[in-house]
Structure 1
Amino acid sequence: MPDAFVLVSFAVLPDGYTREGRHCAELVRSMTACGAVDAVGLNCVSAPGAMRALVQQLGETELPLAVMPNAGYPVVTRTRVQYQGRPEYFARELARLAAEGVRILGGCCGTTPAHIAALRAALDALPETLPAAPAAAVSTATKPEVEKDDAFLRKLNAGKKVIAIELDSPKDADLTGYLDGARRLQAAGADLLTIADCPIARARMDSSLVACRVHRELGLNVLPHMTCRDRNLNATKALLLGLYAEGVREVLAITGDPIPTAERDEVKNVYQFNSRKLAQYIVSLAGEGREMPSPLTVFGALNLNARNFDVELRRAQEKLQNGMSGFLTQPVLSAQAVVNLKKTRETLGEKAKILAGIMPVVSQRNAIFMENEVNGIHVDAEIIERFAGLDRAQGEELGLEVSVKAAQAAAPYADGFYLMTPFNRIALMERLIARLKDEGIAD
């Protein structure tokens, strides 16, 4: 029906975001750009006052705006849900919107004939000439300069081979040993410390709080992992704002391991996002009138050992489209992983920053365990056999040799390396960093 009037309306939370993390201004822009819509607006979820604040965030719009808030917020009394917003208040707030340029007005949940009648009377009392569209309030106050990147990003963007190293946070409340280990890795030449978010869904000290402490005390750049498993949208946003305020400029967005089956009766999964939606939400927090003065750089995970790597690669492309800037890969411990890394570089191009995963194998038992019980890791049979009968010192030496060769094979296709610390062996990782630098593989 070419003559049909098409109005598209979105339900967003009071802070302007949908439950999937899309901001209302972005949604309005996309509808305006599509060319198939006659009007766009907001409905439901918020009461009139909150809805007016949302409209002000939209700024000037090309299409007519429609606003249909709820009549207040719901109150549950036994089996009944009631909205207690008074018709007079509803009418007054919507009349203010009309005076500011909104052209289509109505109500959603809880709206009664009394609300509409009061609105009609309030609109009739307005002057005939009204502005065309609302304008966003712009502050003229001078704000202090905020560092938008850090030494790690500057080095990465300059084309130098960076070293990120993962060190799992403590299982208890004592951070003394952890900070000492981080300090040693920093002195050895690590550019960035990455901190897993409760790996395999077992509780450890919070990765973001640890990251803030490390950054504050050592000045070391940090990359806290953020899973979709344990936080809803509100908790995620609150944590991101705190990270930014503490000077953290990168996060790793991953879906996260599910809670073990036996514990699900007591500990619940959340999964309001997947990693792609989480990345999109994180970058949407920055911009004019938004919560952050500049976007966080979002990295994702890339499994070079996926059985169907073409699917993994398509997912990586989707992650880039949703705001991620690069990837940390699973360990390169096979020839096929190198082939897949090369294919990744050829497919994604130079825009995607890739840190090739390097995890030293330290014993045959360790290699067999990783091959059979750690998701996303594949260790070539030849490597497993080479560790047979070696003691700890011999195992570590062979592990360093294998790791350096893996880094050499990965270097042409990677922007740096993501080193994973086995069994908290800081001294081993100091030696690995030194060898990578001595070989000229890392800067």
Structure 2
Amino acid sequence: MGQSILDVLKERILIGDGAMGTLLYSYGIDRCFEELNVSQSEAVRHVHQAYINAGADVIQTNSYGANRIKLARYGLEHEVARFNRASVQLAKQAAKPETFVLGTIGGIRGFQKQSVELDTIRASFREQADALLSEGIDALLLETYYDFDELRDVLQIARTMTDLPIITHVSMQEPGVLQNGMPVAEALEGLEAQGADVVGTNCRLGPFHMIEALRGIPLPKKAFLSAYPNSSLPDYRDGKLHYENEPEYFKKYAVEFRNEGVRLLGGCCGTTPVQIKAFKEGISALEPLETKVVTVHPEVVHVSEAAEPPESALYQKSVNGRSVFVEFDTPRHLNTDHFFRGVQALEAAGADAITMADNSLASPRISNAAIGKLIKDRYHMPPLVHLTCRDRNLIGLQSHLLGLDVLGLHDLLVITGDPTKIGDFPGATSVYDVSSMELIKLIKQFNRGISYSGKSLKKPTHFRVAAAFNPNVRNLDRAVQRLKRKIECGADYFISQPVFDKERIIAISEATRGVSAPIYIGIMPLTSARNAEFLHNEVPGIRLPDDVRAKMAATSGKEEARQMSFAICRELIDTAMAHFRGIYLITPMGHYSMSVDLVKYIKKKEREYAALENSENILL
């Protein structure tokens, strides 16, 4: 081929192909599509030929997910080179002399953002790009990137690997804005400055909403603009995804895409040769757009990244003084009398906050948000509401968080959550759309006024976020490294799992010496020897020293066990208060009187520490 794809784009609009996966899916194939490059090569070649016959000037290799990370889901991570090389060979076999072949590499961090480190993504990208480039493609296509940092990183790598044209596509969940709140126009400008030859968007949005987004995008200074919309919003029929396919609709929108400056126009999810033929017919008599008037999309609203939430009373206590938080879980039934008597008793004892788990041990309880609102309105203690990743998908999480903000419940403890199989409903689904770190990031994004999809919330939320810390592990340094990663994600302070060993508390203090975020040491009274053995052997994240279990085993009767438990807790509290400024009491099985007595003990110790500190100041 004489001319490069960039030479041709200077002269006319090119039509790309549509969805490879949609056609393969329609053939009854529902497995790793990239593996078909070697096992069912004729089916892949047939898809390429169908799009070329429909009028596609540009086709993509069947390599979107042919990277080590995604292939590992099928146990095929060692086939990266073979699958990618085969994808190029098949595309070139189907191509006409004037057809351009793009080597396609898809984004890793997709709609449900996974915890994949950028270093891992970079290594995976190099391996895949090297295989595609070795077979003589006409250009690289980097498509379906929801995470702008990921796309920016891999574009930089690609630019060092080849002088071939590079096409970069971001993906939007909301028209005009990326998931991180960045206006898409700003993102495309940045990609062009970094060396992309064609910049644009693909996937997620159909023609209508993609046009809405493109109205806010100026013509690139040197690069060309591209768009690969979905066919439509998918429907779910008889267990399969179904897309509407109206060719006249696409023929009409081809003109609108041209009027927004698009020079490379193809299709993504749901598109078939029918839509590609309609696109071809729609732009057949049109010249490329040379100038354009930009319309700012109304949803692109900037909120300052520096905006900080008003300081909560609870967070003030964690930073500026000694305090004790008490975990007191809501009931599993609707008789709340005992619970609110406990809240009153804890308030009278001097507890600084009441915290409530989010269906601990995967067993349903009264909503901690509902009870938290009642505590906020009736008592003088702020509630700390736990939030797990287990029970709500991304839709439910965002809705729940916005509701918490409206209710004025701004103090959260974010945790992963116990798997459902250990709870009352072992057949229930554990969602885990996000990890605890990703949820912390999401909440801090809300504090900037930006939703998960990147859309403006119109004003910021006001959350302070505590995170869980499990020091009951063999490698404490590794646990501290995880704690530091949570700080990078936005965690404001930490609450530990219950610790039953004084030496472990001292070790935690040493290991976290460089950590500025406040840490609350978890202390949990034991109710009996059986309770001690249960916690040690069956509850994740809790380990009891042999001497503690032996002391509880030596007790006889409830009162003796209670007194021994208090003696153990007092020693632990004394050690914790000598090294940390916060205690997190965990009320065992609703026995709030045990927590009340320990709160009184802590408050007494606080007064002693305060008197000592005052006397030292006087001497100074």
Please, what TM-score do these two structures have when normalized by structure 1?
Answer: 0.81
Q: Deviations over 1:393-437 (max 9, x none)?
A: 443333333323212212354341111011212222222112111
> For residues 155-304 of structure 1, what are the structure 2 equivalents within 5 Å?
155-157=317-319, 159-218=320-379, 220-260=381-421, 266-288=427-449, 290-291=456-457, 293-304=460-471
Q: Among residues 211, 233, 243, which one is paired with 1:82 in the alignment? A: 243
Matches of 2:594 and 2:329, distance apart in 1: 15
Matches of 1:294 and 1:120, distance apart in 2: 45
- Counterpart position of 2:276: 113
Q: In the alignment, residue 382 of structure 1 is paired with which amino acid?
A: D
Shift of 1:215: 2.2
Match of 1:439, SS state, is helix
Q: Among residues 286, 303, 322, which one is paired with 2:489 in the alignment? A: 322
Q: Among residues 582, 600, 604, which one is paired with 1:416 in the alignment? A: 582
- Counterpart position of 2:596: 430
CA contact (8 A) 1:148 1:249 kept: no
Matches of 1:426 and 1:395, distance apart in 2: 16
Shift of 1:70: 1.3
Match of 2:243, SS state, is strand
Q: Deviations over 1:207-237 (max 9, x none)?
A: 2333233223435322222222221111111
Matches of 2:217 and 2:342, distance apart in 1: 47
Q: In the alignment, residue 391 of structure 2 is paired with which amino acid?
A: D
Match of 2:606, SS state, is coil
When structure 1 is superposed on structure 2, of 196-205 and 52-61 the one drifting more is 52-61
Q: In the alignment, residue 199 of structure 1 is paired with which amino acid?
A: S
Q: Among residues 126, 130, 136, which one is paired with 2:292 in the alignment? A: 130
Matches of 2:212 and 2:562, distance apart in 1: 60
Query: CA 1:326–1:7 in 2, change beyond 3 Å: closer, same or farther?
Result: farther
CA contact (8 A) 1:16 1:24 kept: no
- Counterpart position of 1:311: 478
Over the aligned positions, Cα root-mean-square deviation in angstroms equals 4.0
- Counterpart position of 1:143: none
Shift of 1:274: 1.7
- Counterpart position of 1:72: 232
Matches of 1:35 and 1:411, distance apart in 2: 54
Q: In the alignment, residue 283 of structure 1 is paired with which amino acid?
A: K
Q: In the alignment, residue 198 of structure 1 is paired with which amino acid?
A: N
Shift of 1:7: 3.6
Q: Determine whether 1:150 maps to 2:312.
A: yes
Q: In the alignment, residue 411 of structure 1 is paired with which amino acid?
A: M
When structure 1 is superposed on structure 2, of 424-433 and 46-55 the one drifting more is 46-55
CA contact (8 A) 2:212 2:297 kept: no
Matches of 1:75 and 1:423, distance apart in 2: 46
Matches of 1:17 and 1:415, distance apart in 2: 43
Match of 1:409, SS state, is helix
Q: Determine whether 1:23 maps to 2:190.
A: no
Percent sequence identity is 26
Query: CA 1:77–1:137 in 2, change beyond 3 Å: closer, same or farther?
Result: closer
Matches of 1:278 and 1:409, distance apart in 2: 33
Matches of 2:255 and 2:438, distance apart in 1: 37
Query: CA 1:344–1:251 in 2, change beyond 3 Å: closer, same or farther?
Result: farther
Shift of 1:82: 2.9
Match of 1:260, SS state, is helix
Q: Among residues 547, 554, 562, which one is paired with 1:396 in the alignment? A: 562
Q: Determine whether 1:331 maps to 2:498.
A: yes
Q: Which protein shows a greater Rg?
A: 2
Q: Deviations over 1:235-260 (max 9, x none)?
A: 11111110111111122221111122
Q: In the alignment, residue 234 of structure 2 is paired with which amino acid?
A: P
When structure 1 is superposed on structure 2, of 417-426 and 56-65 the one drifting more is 56-65
Shift of 1:32: 4.0
Matches of 1:296 and 1:223, distance apart in 2: 11
CA contact (8 A) 1:298 1:325 kept: yes
Shift of 1:15: 8.5
Matches of 1:83 and 1:211, distance apart in 2: 46
Q: Among residues 522, 540, 551, which one is paired with 1:386 in the alignment? A: 551
Query: CA 1:123–1:257 in 2, change beyond 3 Å: closer, same or farther?
Result: farther
- Counterpart position of 2:542: 377
Unaligned runs of 5+ in 1: 141-145
> For residues 48-63 of structure 1, what are the structure 2 equivalents within 5 Å?
48-51=207-210
When structure 1 is superposed on structure 2, of 75-84 and 317-326 the one drifting more is 75-84
Query: CA 1:385–1:325 in 2, change beyond 3 Å: closer, same or farther?
Result: same
Query: CA 1:230–1:138 in 2, change beyond 3 Å: closer, same or farther?
Result: closer
Matches of 1:376 and 1:30, distance apart in 2: 45
Query: CA 1:115–1:165 in 2, change beyond 3 Å: closer, same or farther?
Result: farther
CA contact (8 A) 2:469 2:497 kept: yes
Query: CA 1:381–1:10 in 2, change beyond 3 Å: closer, same or farther?
Result: same
Shift of 1:328: 0.8
When structure 1 is superposed on structure 2, of 362-371 and 319-328 the one drifting more is 362-371
CA contact (8 A) 1:185 1:429 kept: yes
Matches of 2:171 and 2:301, distance apart in 1: 27
Q: Deviations over 1:333-372 (max 9, x none)?
A: 113421442144224x21x221111112233333233222
- Counterpart position of 1:365: 530
Match of 2:412, SS state, is strand
Matches of 1:218 and 1:41, distance apart in 2: 54
Match of 2:563, SS state, is helix
